[in-house]
Structure 1
Amino acid sequence: MTDTSAADLVEQNKRHWDERVPINAASSFYDLDGFRAGDEDFDPFQLDEVGDVDGLDLVHLQCHIGLDSLSWARRGARVSGLDFSAPAIRKAAELADEIGLGDRARFVSADVYDAVDALGAAAFDLVYTGMGALMWLSDIQRWARTVAGLLRPGGRLYLVEMHPVSDVLDDASGTAVTGDYFARDARTYELRGSYADWDAQTTHNTVTEWHHTLGDVVSAVAGAGLRIEFVHEHDVIPFRRYGTLVADGTRFRYPDPSRRLPLLYSLAATAV
């Protein structure tokens, strides 16, 4: 794939995400009223693994409408959120003002690979990336170099993401392999509506994803000069990724505790 064609696919993805900002903001999935009232949706393991963020300079890459970004700001971090969707950034900034965090959170519209130029080199103690982000990146090595460029010496990357094995399992059972885990080709497909509202009427429905194995991500982070602290795999996910998953509070798990596959993973790494 040429750089030009990758850029065209990313622009197509941006139109898709721009259109879904008002849909997602109005949905019960995001529940902005609950968020304004103080709700947050971090897994307990995330809070344990990240630790105290009070007083830290934190950047949330691919932040969408900023709910996780602002949740970290509520916990005392000075937050910068970055996303390629200008409508998403406007909504995030609006929410920051509504809940009184406009002085602790700034939001910038830029391509993730331009984050150092947009936000500053070696400017952050923590780079955070939440689930559903890496699949939209065509170049995982360039992403990892960008993360390294944002971090101060001793700063950390913390990533929580859907486990890449989920890309090749069937939607019904979540156990049958239906694809090639090691495939590297971009996947372009039609996606109507939004994961936050499948019935929403949408026009920009063509999207492209890039599959990155767990080894790809770990190797990219290490190759960018960051020291891997841990890679943890988790058996919970915040939504019903497969039809057979069962609710466990606000999370979902496989129904048989003796026959599980990883649903999420988390990774931390340190700038040296």
Structure 2
Amino acid sequence: MSADWLDLNRANWDDRVRVHAGSEFYDLEGFRGGACTLRAFEVEEVGDVDGLDLVHLQCHMGQDTLSWARRGARVTGVDFSAEAIGTARALAEDTGLADRARFVVSDVHTAPEALGGERFDVVYTGIGALVWLPDLTRWARVVADLLTDGGFLYLAEFHPLGELLDDDGLALRGDYFRTGGTTHDYPHTYTDGPALTETLSVEWQHPLGEVVTALAGAGLRVDSLRERENTLFRRYPALEATGDGEYRFPPGHPRLPLMYTLRATKPAAR
């Protein structure tokens, strides 16, 4: 596949940093003041990370990465956007977490080489990451290469079924088994703030079976796969706020899973 998609997405995400860093959505000042950006279900399902080495793939500006550091982990954030990594490093300094956090500029596919073959207890991938990757088999091999024996991946993602509903949240549209990248030309990001100047991006849809099969093929053991009826945005008008910053369909409305979480372990060598 041509590398054009990578150049387009990197330029798009470099530009997003300008918008995101000043947005109310990301609220960097609130984070500097001690806010945690991890969701409660992530903290519960990952468990105690005190003293563990954690790498966050596709970390963007590093708030989730640094939130794990605040919970006691030694963290490494990896992202292909130098602009995002620069913001993350400054945020680590501002929050007094630079002694337990580092940030590395690297495409996710070359992360093992960029990190010098280092291994980690936890590989964490946050929400909205997989759509930017064309090849999950290669991604899963990267995850396996980064894990220590007995270490685990924790993935939280938007469910691919949730993206198939029409804007009214009632009718299905699109194709769950669509293959190939889709190019978008859109002047805004998902946050508040000014328009982008680098508006082109390429995304891929990955059915749930593709994710699980890629991880199994890389030698990981899937320990849990939880589909969630809640999501983080009011993606459809029918969704109602839950009171804890999430949204779901109201009682009596037909439901589809809107998010999922997955935990997979790299078995110890025999």
Could you tell me the TM-score, scaled by structure 1's length? 0.95
**SS at the partner of 1:161?**
strand
Choose which of 176, 181, 188 in structure 2 pairs with 1:186: 181
- 1:228-258 per-residue CA deviation (whole Å, 9 max, x = no partner) reads 1010001111221222211112111112355
Corresponding residue to 1:241 among 228, 232, 235? 235
- Return the offset for 1:121: 2.8
1:65 aligned partner: 61
Question: CA–CA distance in 1 between the matches of 2:78 and 2:237?
Answer: 33
Distance across 2 between alignment mates of 1:195 and 1:172: 18
* One-letter amino acid of the counterpart of residue 149, structure 1: D
Gap runs ≥5 in structure 2: none
The residue number in structure 2 matching 1:227 is 221
Partner of 2:251: 256
2:9 equivalent to 1:35: no
- Classify 1:78/1:232 alpha carbon distance in 2 versus 1 (closer, same or farther; 3 Å): same
Q: Deviations over 1:169-208 (max 9, x none)?
A: 11222x31110101112111212121112x5122211111
Contact 2:238/2:250 (CA < 8 Å) preserved in 1?
yes
- Rounded to whole Å, the distance in 1 between the matches of 2:95 and 2:118 is 29
Alignment of 1:17-166 (within 5 A): 17-121=13-117, 123-166=119-162
For 1:103, what is the secondary structure of its paired residue?
helix
Secondary structure of the corresponding residue to residue 65 of structure 1: coil
Does the 8 A contact of 2:19 with 2:196 survive in 1? no
> Mean Cα displacement is larger for which, 60-69 or 253-262?
253-262
Change (3 A) 1:201 1:81: same
Give TM-score scaled by structure 2 length: 0.96
Over 3 Å off, 4+ runs: none
Whichever residue aligns with residue 149 of structure 2, its letter is P
Check whether the contact 1:57–1:77 (CA below 8 A) recurs between aligned residues.
yes
**Mapped pair 1:203 → 2:197:** yes
| SS of residue in 1 equivalent to 2:93 | helix
For structure 1, the 5+ residue unaligned runs are none
Equivalents in 1 of 2:132, 2:222: separation in Å? 23
Percent identical: 54
The separation in 1 between residues aligned to 2:214 and 2:257, in whole angstroms, is 21
Q: Per-residue deviation at 1:41?
A: 2.8
How many residues are treated as equivalent by the alignment? 266
Shift of 1:259: 2.2
Aligned partner letter, 1:222:
A
Range with greater deviation from structure 2 (89-98 or 249-258): 249-258
Q: Is the 8 A contact 1:121 1:151 kept in 2?
A: no
| 1:124 Cα offset (Å) | 0.1
CA RMSD, 1 decimal: 1.2
CA distance in 2, matches of 1:256, 1:206: 38
Contact 1:228–1:270 (8 Å) recurs in 2: yes
Aligned-partner residue type, residue 119 of structure 2: A
User: Helix, strand or coil: the match of 1:220?
Assistant: helix
